[in-house]
């Protein structure tokens, strides 16, 4: 377990830079462009590139050294933030360069995410269910800390210094991970790795999740629709706070902290009460719709902070539920299934980001919240009709029985 703790610590180090970037990046883009749609659209490229290549990347990771892919991901992201540092320091106002660099972050993450997950799982597979909630609490605590720091820094420190810190955090994680060995079960399998084999791997992972985990597959499809209308609002939030509420990065930091407080509560709840029923996803969809409609009418920071606590709680319950379920698959399918679950769940997010960008540009920064609330109610109604079919009833009943304890 000692190697796992070192690896988890290294991941938290690089996460600190990632969190700071999430707080300040769109404020920086807005400061150099003054464009609502351009700022929101900057979040499109890392997401789009990630989901475009992640399934293919996961198949490659399955056949290679997890450590090697993690190190390449850390190094690539460190270099991207060096580029951002140079752009901000020299006041380069090239939106296309920003989009390109954001796309590189998505490309690096597509290989890094399944590799670090598989590397960690090699150490803790037998105790993952017990540790999932605790790991979530630790990472959320770090998110809370650096979100607060990021908001305070963004209001007081030049952007280029924060980008430099981001680069250093990824470089430091790289140096720690160099000295951590891979567990035996994470060693690369001895298989050919041509394009045909990789495509067969991806198809095999899809067949496996459809045939062996039908209820989970159905739930991931619902998640993809929820994510299409709800996840892109994270890209709208910095611009909403700046242009809609006339507040600064420190206020955005407080909203992130509120969300993460809800996420911590979710982690504690899962640790105490056990697994989540996939049946709750429909309820989560309705709650998300209500939260969107409430945010459309928000005029003060206090009300927004309360809403964000619930957002963090609900979002984290969905995330933990899927992660625990994916952890039960056969080891040889883990990377592929994890990547497929992320890919399917996030399949429509890039389209959603573009949609929110257009809505904000045409109807104002509040319009995406109204549209998403109505759309999510429609999604909930549609999925409720589907759940009434016998095939869905039997699939969800089996998933609930396998889940054991539920909340």
Q: Residue 104 has what pLDDT?
A: 94
260/242 Cα distance (integer angstroms): 20
Q: 55, 25, 59, 56: which is closest to 40 by C-alpha? A: 25
The full set of domain ranges for the chain reads 2-181+195-403
Q: Residue 195 has what pLDDT?
A: 54
CB 106 within 8 A of CB 47: yes
The answer on pLDDT for 83 being more than 90 is: yes
- φ/ψ bin of 192: left (φ > 0), alpha (ψ from -120 to 50), beta (otherwise): beta
Name the more confident of 22 and 188.
Answer: 22
CB 400 within 8 A of CB 278: yes
The answer on pLDDT for 260 being more than 70 is: yes
Instruction: Write out the CATH class of domain 2-181+195-403.
Output: mainly alpha
pLDDT band of residue 188 (cuts 50, 70, 90) is very low
Q: CB-based burial of residue 52 (10 Å sphere; 0-12 exposed, 13-18 middle, 19+ buried)? A: middle
CB 258 within 8 A of CB 353: no
CB 49 within 8 A of CB 107: yes
Distance of CA 217 to CAs 79, 82, 231, 336, 386, Å? 36, 39, 19, 14, 14
Quickly list H helices, 90-212. 95-124, 128-156, 159-177, 195-212
- φ/ψ bin of 349: left (φ > 0), alpha (ψ from -120 to 50), beta (otherwise): alpha
Q: pLDDT, tens digit, for every residue of 326-338?
A: 666 666 666 667 7
CB 78 within 8 A of CB 174: yes
Q: pLDDT, tens digit, for every residue of 101-127?
A: 999 999 999 899 888 888 877 776 655
Q: 140, 135, 133: which is closest to 309 by C-alpha? A: 140
139/28 Cα distance (integer angstroms): 25
Distance of CA 232 to CAs 107, 225, 357, 377, 382, Å? 19, 12, 9, 17, 21
Taking residues 303-321, report their average pLDDT.
Answer: 88
Average pLDDT in the chain = 80
Taking each helix axis from N to C terminus, what angle separates 44-62 and 66-89, rounded to the nearest 10 degrees?
160
Q: Residue 192 has what pLDDT?
A: 45
Q: Residue 186 has what pLDDT?
A: 45
pTM: 0.68
Q: Residue 84 has what pLDDT?
A: 94
Name the more confident of 152 and 12.
Answer: 12
The answer on pLDDT for 19 being more than 50 is: yes
Q: pLDDT, tens digit, for every residue of 381-404?
A: 888 877 676 655 555 555 555 545
Q: pLDDT, tens digit, for every residue of 162-187?
A: 899 999 999 999 999 999 988 765 44
The answer on pLDDT for 291 being more than 70 is: yes
Neighbours of 138 (CB within 10 A): 16
């Amino acid at each position: 377990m000692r190697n796992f703790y070192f690896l988890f610590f290294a991941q938290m180090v690089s996460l600190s830079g990632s969190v700071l970037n999430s707080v300040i990046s769109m404020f920086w883009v807005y400061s150099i462009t003054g464009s609502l749609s351009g700022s929101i659209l900057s979040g499109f490229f890392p997401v789009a590139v990630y989901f475009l290549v992640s399934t293919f990347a996961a198949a490659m990771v399955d056949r290679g050294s997890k450590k090697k892919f993690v190190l390449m991901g850390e190094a690539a992201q460190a270099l991207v933030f060096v580029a951002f540092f140079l752009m901000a320091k020299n006041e380069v106002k090239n939106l296309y360069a920003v989009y390109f660099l954001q796309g590189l972050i998505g490309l690096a993450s597509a290989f890094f995410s399944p590799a670090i997950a598989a590397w960690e799982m090699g150490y803790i597979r037998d105790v993952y269910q017990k540790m999932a909630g605790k790991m979530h609490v630790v990472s959320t605590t770090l998110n809370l800390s650096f979100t607060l720091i990021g908001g305070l820094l963004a209001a007081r420190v030049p952007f280029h210094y924060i980008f430099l810190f981001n680069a250093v955090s990824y470089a430091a994680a790289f140096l720690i991970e160099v000295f951590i060995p891979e567990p035996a079960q994470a060693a690369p399998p001895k298989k050919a790795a041509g394009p045909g084999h990789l495509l067969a791997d991806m198809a095999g992972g899809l067949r496996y999740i459809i045939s062996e985990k039908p209820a989970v597959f159905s739930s991931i499809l619902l998640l993809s629709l929820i994510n299409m209308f709800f996840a892109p609002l994270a890209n709208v939030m910095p611009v909403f706070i700046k242009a809609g509420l006339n507040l600064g990065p420190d206020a955005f930091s407080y909203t992130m902290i509120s969300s993460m407080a809800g996420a911590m509560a979710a982690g504690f709840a899962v640790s105490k009460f056990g697994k989540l029923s996939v049946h709750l996803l429909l309820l989560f969809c309705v709650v998300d719709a209500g939260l969107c409609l409430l945010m459309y009418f928000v005029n003060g920071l206090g009300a927004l902070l309360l809403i964000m606590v619930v957002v963090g709680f609900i979002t984290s319950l969905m995330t933990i539920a899927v992660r625990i379920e994916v952890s039960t698959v056969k080891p040889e399918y883990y990377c592929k299934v994890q990547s497929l679950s992320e890919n399917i769940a996030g399949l429509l997010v890039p389209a959603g980001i573009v949609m929110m960008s257009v809505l904000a540009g045409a109807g104002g920064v509040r319009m995406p919240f109204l549209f998403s609330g109505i759309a999510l109610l429609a999604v909930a109604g549609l999925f409720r009709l589907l759940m009434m079919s016998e095939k869905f009833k039997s699939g969800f009943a089996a998933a609930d029985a396998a889940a054991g304890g539920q909340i």
